[in-house]
A and B are shown apart, each in its own frame.
Chain A
């Protein structure tokens, strides 16, 4: 009898408990369930947000290889990564790979080879400019005299871009094709570029605004009133000579030691 009573009591209490539980759920059903969902959603959202933030904090770890067509960017890309020689054609899309620096720190970042063709370079630079920690601007030293205006215009458009001017990445101007006898030295190229950019400051600021009223990059290079010099820029600028071909083309190594040292410092 006592057991029975005990059992009965137990059953009764369980039932009561269940009933009361069910009643609670039914009464606050909507709110309760909504509460659970909201909590879950918040958790998911915070995870996504953190993921984004982490992504952006890792953002500036790319080094862009920019330059005119035929300046030797793709070959330089291959030489830096593997040290071997390949035949190259005009690039249609960008190539990116991880590069490990050859020094004690052995840091690694992404090396991006941007096609130099005029119709492609603007779009691709748009994509990667925010991620740029440094810019390697490759110049063909042998035909520099002919192309000085085109080179300067490209360099000017990069330097006056708002995002690039804000981030102020390191600028390395690699005077490539030094193996050709007619190649100009880095010093000469620097002087010529400074003169050209000086003139460009005037003409580009006087250029027409585009049809919807937007004015191009409103960044003014260097100091007003004084002739332009690369030392006036907030970025760290270096001029380096190199030769991606090397003296013996396929067999020998390229003379890119100076460039590698520079990249190691980034």
Chain B
């Protein structure tokens, strides 16, 4: 049922492949897509990938530099695939160990890897093992263990339950035994699972039970903190607290059933609340006099719960690292250290974990978004697992080097970034090159738009600025001031009589997409080289504004959609970019929606070496950083130097 299975070297040579019966398409396309989008973009954390109708799973073998890829139809859910890949990998390694241990790339070419028979055998085993599990039918009441027990043995005596609950359980059991038939199976299975815990207490005296429970409690405290949690939250205790309603007279006396007295008390409370509600607004308006109130914080309950979770996680982590430390110490300190330095050994997950944790914290301290840092570390772990280290290299240095390489890889642009060349191309085709700037409020769109237009007119192009920010007060005037200044710096005489920069604006309150369309038509008529569209800043959660932006981009199809983000942003960068891309994809009318094509990183001079925002943004979108803004004058525009950013990031 597999579509294909391929084993190839990291250098690109296919060692062995298998194509399922009836599959006509070659697997080269999907596998290439897998490599480009997952492995090369450092998203190897999760090992499955969807491409059109195919679902691909892969495994890297870092010791012999191999990749194992299996592909099957997305609609099939094959549960044996993960284990199957692992088995195939182990089998292949063992069988061809000698050939693979040779050096150089020729080992892949000179040897024939005839793996077909083994593969088919493993496939049959995996499929058979999967089918062997027959569906489990629920037991009927007669078959269940409960029917074979006496009622007395099922009386709950654990954890100091009150007699009321005992009575409750007894009556429940009585009810259940009375109805024999119908929904026995359901009730039986439910109670069977509950009773499984209680059956352990059969036949013990209460004191022994108490001692047992105390021992359990102490062991829980020492081991992990998680089981404590259920005892803290009050919710599970509520159903236990409910008393069973006893119908003595089967509801004959209605007076007994009249609970309006107690209800009446509640309603009187509700009435008391209303006058407070009407009084409150008056109080709020009054209190603006004098000092301002502080910022509202979230409810303290949530904070407490979060703190407790964090503490428990820390306890678990501390327990784990203590165990590890004990292991190492037991090995004999000096000897272990020397062993780590000399000789070749394989990297395992446990070796890398402490180093990766430190690197993750270091990245987060340098303003990389938290989830991106952890995804990056997972990807590096996958890449290094099983790799053989050379002599005199420590685990820490190998991991650091690998992390550095992957960071540089992420920052390298995946496509050609040369705006001047593209503008020349558009000029040759007699149409203007349209660039749109979008982003949240206050990141520096208008300032950087002015800087970019200065750069363009310095290189001899004519620029039209379209003022599509029709909301913010003073946006159009700001652009007009920039236009005047730029024109004074580059007087029209130099540009053959035509002013270098012109502003196209239609005032405030109009539809931005319409203004953009008119601006582009105007530019085409007048022969402008570049059109820069300035949009209003908007929060990514604001659905109507995001729709409006998506409409502007879908209707006008600009050549370049630039997202302007500030370097100071932290974890927010992830949310902003994801939501912007999502909005652009959702509201576009074509199959190939125009997404964000590039990033402008602004306010770069305000961060010292906490340059993590660059990594977060490029990782999320996969698009390059086209411009870097480093100040507020016209010449403060730079391009990104990947190496410098990564060295600033890895600096201690």
Contact = CB atoms under 8 A, between A and B. Distances in A.
B65 A120 contact: no
Contacts of B9: 95
Interface string B604-647: 10000000000000000000000110100000011111001000
A120 B13 contact: no
A122 interface: yes
A208 B455 contact: yes
Interface string A187-204: 000000000000110111
A117 B630 contact: no
B110 A82 contact: yes
Contact of A86 (B13, B414, B416, B420): B13
B12 A150 contact: no
A248 to B, nearest CB: 18
A207 B459 CA distance: 9
Nearest to B642: A122
A46 interface: no
Given A86-B14, A91-B11, A203 B109 contact: no
A119 B416 CA distance: 11
Chain B: interface residue count, which band?
Answer: 35 or more
B418 to A, nearest CB: 6
A3 interface: no
A88 B11 CA distance: 9
Nearest to B8: A89
Contacts of B408: 122-123
Q: Report, as a range, how many residues of chain A touch the other chain.
A: 35 or more
B416 A150 contact: yes
Among A87, A122, A150, A199, the one with the most B-chain Cβ atoms within 10 Å of its Cβ is A87
A5 B574 CA distance: 100
B109 A78 contact: yes
- Interface on chain A toward B: helix, strand, loop, or mixed SS? mixed
B108 to A, nearest CB: 8
Nearest to B383: A92
Contact of A119 (B32, B108, B414, B637): B414
Nearest to A150: B416
A121 to B, nearest CB: 8
Contact of B638 (A119, A200, A208): A208
A241 interface: no
A211 B641 contact: yes
A209 to B, nearest CB: 6
A181 to B, nearest CB: 21
Given A211-B630, A211-B638, A88 B12 contact: yes
Nearest to B42: A119
B109 A89 contact: no
A258 B193 CA distance: 78
A204 B418 contact: yes
B420 A203 contact: yes
B409 A119 contact: yes
Interface of B: 6, 8-14, 17, 28, 31-32, 35-36, 39-41, 65, 67, 104-106, 108-110, 405, 408-410, 412-416, 418, 420-421, 424-425, 455, 458-459, 604, 627-628, 630, 637-641, 644
